Structure 1
Amino acid sequence: EVADKLAFLQNSIGRALGPADRWLLPRGITTLAARMEFPHKTTQLIYDYFSRNDKVARIYYPGDPASQGYEIAKRQMRGFGGIISFELEKGLDPKKFVESLRIIDLAESLGGVESLIEIPALMTHASIPRDIRLKNGIKDELIRLSVGLEDGQDLLDDLKQSFSKI
C-alpha cells in the first residue's frame, strides 16, 4: 500500500534529485538567465505566427495582450517565457501535426534546452476521463510547446511545414 502511494507521488510530482542531478544543479544555475531569455524571444515570434494562422483556434500565452493574465504577467515577469499552448481548429488532427514536426520533439516532460511538444489529451492528461478533461478546458486539439535553444527561424519553418500537412 505504501509502495503504491509512493509510486503515485513519484509519477505525479517527481522524485528527489539524484546525486548527479544535484551536482549539475549549480552548473545550470549559472546559465539560467541566458537559457530563459533566448526561448522568450523565439516564443514571441511563434506567438506572432500563431496569431495570424487560421488553423490555430486559440492561443494560451502570457504575452498575449488578450490573455486574462497579460497585465499581471507584464508587471511580474521580465519576459513571457518559453511555453506556449494552442488549440488547433476543430477537426484538425493534433497527432498528425506533432508527428509531422522534424525539429521539435514529442515528449511529456517539457522545459529542456531542446524544443518539445505534447498533446495533453493523449499524454499527460490521458488518464482523466474525457468529459472531466473537457470541463476543465483540456480539449482534444490542445497542444503545448516548450521552446528550446534552437534557431527561431528553424522552429518557425518546422511549424509551418507541419501546419501544411494537416
Structure 2
Amino acid sequence: MKNFSNYNDYSTKEELHFESKAVHGALGTEPLTGAVSMPIFQTATFRHPELGESTGFAYSRLENPTRQELERTMAILEGGIKGFAFSSGQAANMAVFSLLNPGDHVILSDDIYGGTFRIIGDVFGKYGIEHTYVDMSELDEVKVAIRPNTKMFFIETPTNPMMKVADIHALSEIAKGIGALTVVDNTFLTPYFQKPLQLGADIVTHSSTKYLGGHNDTISGIVVVKDNEEIAEKIHVHIKSHGSQLAPLDSWLILRGIKTLAVRMDRHNENAKKVAEWLRTQPKVQKVYYVGFEDHKDYAVTKKQTTGFGGMISFTVDSFETVKKILKGVDMIMFAESLGGTETLITYPTTQTHEDTPLDIKEKLGITDCFLRMSVGIENADDIIADLDRAMNA
C-alpha cells in the first residue's frame, strides 16, 4: 500500500515561477490515482494495514491528505518549511499568540483588524500577555515601545483599514536584535505580491478566507513558519490539541482558489488603481487611502518590498448622510463584511470590522462615522465606478 504522506520532496518546484507553483501545488497530482484535482478526503479516520504499519494517516484531526496538500502548497508559495491550515484566520492568530508565555510582551500595529485587537486584549490579556499598539510604519515608535520582555512583533502591512505600510525587513532586524519573533499578517497582498519570510519575518499568517480562497465561499486561516523546527512543532501541537484544523472540503476550496490567485490578484490590482484614482476626483470624497498612490507616505517602502498594491481601498466622505446614501444605493457592489473575493464589497468599519476597537482609538486612527473600506473585485472596473457614481452622486 502506497503512503503518500511521505511524498514531501517538493523542492523540484523551486525552478517554477509563482503562477505555476500556485496551479500545481505541492504534489501536482494525487499520487495514488493520478487525479489532477486533489480529492476531498472526507473521512474522520484511516484504516491501518496491520499492527506497526500505517498509511501515514490515522485521524483527520491530526493529518488529512487534502489539508496536507494545502499546507504544503502554502509552504512552497510563502517559502517556509511548514504550513498549517486552520478553521479561520482568527484560529491561526490564536495559535501564533499561543507561542507567548505569561509575562511576555508583544508589539502590534495600532491600526489592526478588530478581531486581532479582541484576541490580544480580551483573551490573552487575562493570561498575562502584555501588549502595546504602535504605528509600525514609524520605526522610532517601535523602538520606543520595546521592553525587556518584548518577545514578538505582530505586523499588518498594509494595515486594515488605514493602509499603513511597515518596513518588514527593518522591523525584522530590530526584532532579531532583541531576540523577538516577527509575525506578518499577509492577508491583503498574499505571497503573490509580498513575501514576508524572504524579507526576514519568522512567521506569516493569513485569513485565507480572503484572497487565497478568493470566492467568498469558505472561512479558513493559514500559518507558515520560515525555518524554525521548534516553532513549527509548537504550532503542530497547538492545532492538534485545540482541534482548530481546517476541514477537508474547506481545504479543497482554498486549494482551488489558489490555482487562480495570480490572475485574480493582477485584476484586483488593476481595478483598485482605477477606482482609487476616480475616487480622488469626487467632490464628496475627502481622502482616499490607497498604497498605490505615489504620494502615499510609505510608497517607497511598498515599492521596495512588494510587486503590487493589492485590491484594498479606504476613503472618507463628507458626511454620514453620504455614507448612508452609498451603502443603500450600491447595486452590483455589495454592502457586506469581508474582502478579497471576486465580488466588490464595501464595508463600514466603525460598526463592522472594528466594532470592538475602543472609540477613542478609532477616532485617533481616523475610523470615523464617515469612513468606508472597499475590497475591489474582479468585475469590469468601469462597472464598479459607475455603480459607485450612481450611489454617491445620483
TM-score surpassing 0.5?
yes
Residue 25 of structure 1 pairs with residue 254 of structure 2: yes
Deviates more, 1:116-125 or 1:89-98: 89-98
Tell me the secondary structure at the aligned position of residue 93 of structure 1. Answer: helix
The 2-side partners of 1:103 and 1:75 are apart by 35
CA separation of 1:107 and 1:16: change in aligned 2, threshold 3 A? farther
The one of 291, 316, 332 aligned to 1:62:
291
The 2-side partners of 1:148 and 1:132 are apart by 29
Residue 48 of structure 1 pairs with residue 151 of structure 2: no
Tell me the secondary structure at the aligned position of residue 57 of structure 1. Answer: strand
The 1-side partners of 2:363 and 2:352 are apart by 15
Deviation at 1:33, TM superposition (A): 0.4
Runs ≥4 residues deviating over 4 A? 13-16
The 1-side partners of 2:280 and 2:115 are apart by 33
Alignment RMSD: 2.0
Q: Deviations over 1:99-156 (max 9, x none)?
A: 1100111111111111111010121222334333102321111111001111111101
The 1-side partners of 2:356 and 2:266 are apart by 34
Structure of higher CA gyration radius = 2
Q: Which residue of the partner structure matches residue 149 of structure 1?
A: 378
The one of 333, 337, 341 aligned to 1:104:
333
Deviation at 1:92, TM superposition (A): 4.1
Q: Is the 8 A contact 1:105 1:116 kept in 2?
A: yes
Q: Which residue of the partner structure matches residue 12 of structure 1?
A: 115
Q: Which residue of the partner structure matches residue 89 of structure 1?
A: 318
**Alignment identity in percent?**
38
Give the TM-score normalised by the residue count of structure 1: 0.85
Amino acid at match of 2:284: K
The 2-side partners of 1:48 and 1:62 are apart by 12
The 1-side partners of 2:245 and 2:335 are apart by 25
> Number of aligned pairs?
157
Q: Deviations over 1:55-108 (max 9, x none)?
A: 111111101112111111122222211111111124543122111100111111
Q: Is the 8 A contact 2:346 2:374 kept in 1?
A: yes
Tell me the secondary structure at the aligned position of residue 341 of structure 2. Answer: coil
Deviation at 1:53, TM superposition (A): 1.1
Deviates more, 1:72-81 or 1:50-59: 72-81
Residue 134 of structure 1 pairs with residue 363 of structure 2: yes
Larger RCO, structure (CA 8 Å, separation 6 or more):
1
Amino acid at match of 1:148: G
Deviates more, 1:96-105 or 1:132-141: 132-141
The 2-side partners of 1:32 and 1:137 are apart by 31
Give the TM-score normalised by the residue count of structure 2: 0.38
The 2-side partners of 1:16 and 1:138 are apart by 33
Tell me the secondary structure at the aligned position of residue 47 of structure 1. Answer: helix
Residue 125 of structure 1 pairs with residue 125 of structure 2: no
